Amino acid sequence: MNNISKSRFITSVILIVGIAVLTAFISINTAYTLDNGAQSNLINDLFAEMQTFLSKYLGWMIIILANGFLVFSIFLIFTKYKNIKLGGPSAIPKYSYTNWIAMLFSAGLGIGLLFYGVAEPIMHLSSYPGMVDGDISYNAGKAIGLANLHWGLHGWAIYSALGLCFAFATYNKNLPFRVSSLLGSKVANNKPLAVTIDIIAIVTTVFGVTTSLGLGTEQISAGLSHIFSIKETFSNKMLIILVITLIGLLSVSLGLDSGIKKLSQINMVLAIVLLAFVFLFGPTVFIVNALIQNFGAYVNTLIESATWTEVYDSSSWQNGWTLFYYSWWFAWAPFVSLFIARISYGRSIKEFVIGVLFVPSLIVFLWMGIFGNAAIHQVINETSQLGQVVNTNFDVALFSLFEIYPVTKFISIVSLILIVTFFVTSSDSGALVASMLSSKKQTSINDDSPIISRATWAILLGLLAGVLLFAGGLKALQTSVVITGVPFAIIVVFACRKFYKSLEKELNK
């Protein structure tokens, strides 16, 4: 308990528990049935209105911020500061490239790619307002391009920019692993302001991770139903969260090297097996040709797609997709960026940006290219009912893809295991980061935050995921990300400015 910052830890816990209790109470007492038979409540309505408001009035800002972080990260590779090492000239990386990439990939993507890898490109084919009737070549390429936009460079640029801020402040300036440390001595020395900023970061982290845990729960439940005919009930979903939380508690108690690192290695092996299976037993030649065409289409339309604001259209597609994704990356930024900083001691700025920005984006390109095109091939050749499945049950898309493949049940079970391991990695990584943000010191690569703090955050993550699923399902989870992510992105801008101004002094040491 000696290394816990009570003002940050206790206030954040009370705030998050209060939000969870209030959300559950209002959901129970304001429930009503829609005309189509679906259930809704006041919290669901409020979340929807808040997301619409943010998208309508701040959508332009979200797009500028996301693109700005990408430009800033790439710019750093070509500056005179590119060879500055995180930790000083004599710093040596603690983790190999393989373990480093495995851990940042597991923390930064994980469940999201498994949840959206098949379903998202198919959804874009039927919902994106810019599709051309009858032009399947353009439409399919655009669908994959949009998925790459949402999961590729822009998201990882946010992690790269903030991750550098964290790593440089901690390893080069000997400051605590806190967001307030990134904003200069005036902020850090103003305790009420510093604590407030750190609490915002903790709450943002918790809601960002909770969204992924909710997605994982929905997909595990759908997978169990699809493979073993286990009913998708709310009580079963709560049981899934409970089991995963308990496994996460064990992992986070073991620490970074014994728990998260080993799980990340398992994740990468299973992900490669799954990717290779779909590539080899799917439409291999089609996928290879599509990957090449997709790359050209993505590069050719990157600027246009990344700055599209839907201003001349009457649709609201952008609100539920690109703006949601950018906000989701913002909400995950304190969590993933701090975690990446924690494992990146000894890397140079150039090495860090290339490893964090381009390598995961390449993995995304391959994942979306292989899974997305395998799915599109089934749809355009009518070899399965995948299109209808995606439109009626988003959660089961991955398992439906495998129905025309050999050893369907076996590979579906492997996928389910991978979802669980990603789920656990997200849970324990999120708990570790929330614990670090609420610690007193945490200035060394070898520092460990208190076990009681890590365990508390692991339990709270599971609790909040359950409450938000109860309150409004996937929509509530998505909206909570938008609400918490946008304010934090503004803090990141000031952190990046302070970081860049500090580089000249470091270079002249």
Taking the C-alpha atoms of residue 365 and residue 341, their distance in angstroms, rounded to an integer, is 24
Of all residues in the chain, what percent are helix, strand and coil, respectively (each to 5)? 80, 0, 20
Task: Give the model's confidence band at 218: pLDDT under 50 very low, under 70 low, under 90 confident, else very high.
Answer: confident
pLDDT tens column, 105-117: 776 666 778 888 9
- Assess contact for 160 and 356: CB atoms under 8 A: yes
Give the three-class secondary structure for 179: coil
Taking the C-alpha atoms of residue 263 and residue 256, their distance in angstroms, rounded to an integer, is 10
Most confident option among 83-87, 254-258, 260-264: 83-87
Most confident option among 40-54, 229-243, 270-284, 437-451: 270-284
Tell me the C-alpha to C-alpha distance, in Å, between residue 97 and each of 112, 251, 346: 23, 22, 12
pLDDT at res. 376: 95
Task: Give the model's confidence band at 475: pLDDT under 50 very low, under 70 low, under 90 confident, else very high.
Answer: low
| CA proximity to 462, closest of 422, 427, 419, 425 | 427
Q: Which amino acid is at 25?
A: F
pLDDT at res. 34: 66
- Assess contact for 83 and 349: CB atoms under 8 A: yes
Among 19-23, 97-101, 267-271, 477-481, the range scoring the smallest mean pLDDT is 477-481
The residue-averaged pLDDT of 349-364 equals: 93
Percent of the chain predicted with pLDDT > 90: 36
Task: Give the model's confidence band at 441: pLDDT under 50 very low, under 70 low, under 90 confident, else very high.
Answer: low
| CA proximity to 261, closest of 425, 456, 443 | 425
Among 72-81, 179-188, 398-407, the range scoring the smallest mean pLDDT is 179-188
Give the three-class secondary structure for 401: helix
Taking the C-alpha atoms of residue 456 and residue 430, their distance in angstroms, rounded to an integer, is 11
| DSSP H stretches of helix in 172-190 | 185-188
Taking the C-alpha atoms of residue 146 and residue 149, their distance in angstroms, rounded to an integer, is 5
| CA proximity to 147, closest of 290, 49, 277, 271 | 290
8-state DSSP, 173 = T
pLDDT at res. 443: 46
**Residue for token digits 């139903």?**
225
Tell how far CA 266 is from the center of its chain. Answer: 19
Domains with residue ranges and CATH for the chain: 6-24+41-507 (1.20.1740.10)
Task: Give the model's confidence band at 442: pLDDT under 50 very low, under 70 low, under 90 confident, else very high.
Answer: low
The residue-averaged pLDDT of 385-403 equals: 89
pLDDT at res. 212: 75
Question: How much is the mean pLDDT over the chain?
Answer: 85
- Assess contact for 176 and 439: CB atoms under 8 A: yes
The residue-averaged pLDDT of 90-110 equals: 81
Tell how far CA 188 is from the center of its chain. Answer: 28
Helix axes 408-437, 451-507, angle to 10 degrees: 70
Taking the C-alpha atoms of residue 345 and residue 94, their distance in angstroms, rounded to an integer, is 7
Taking the C-alpha atoms of residue 365 and residue 293, their distance in angstroms, rounded to an integer, is 12
- Assess contact for 49 and 492: CB atoms under 8 A: no
pLDDT exceeds cutoff 60 at 414: yes
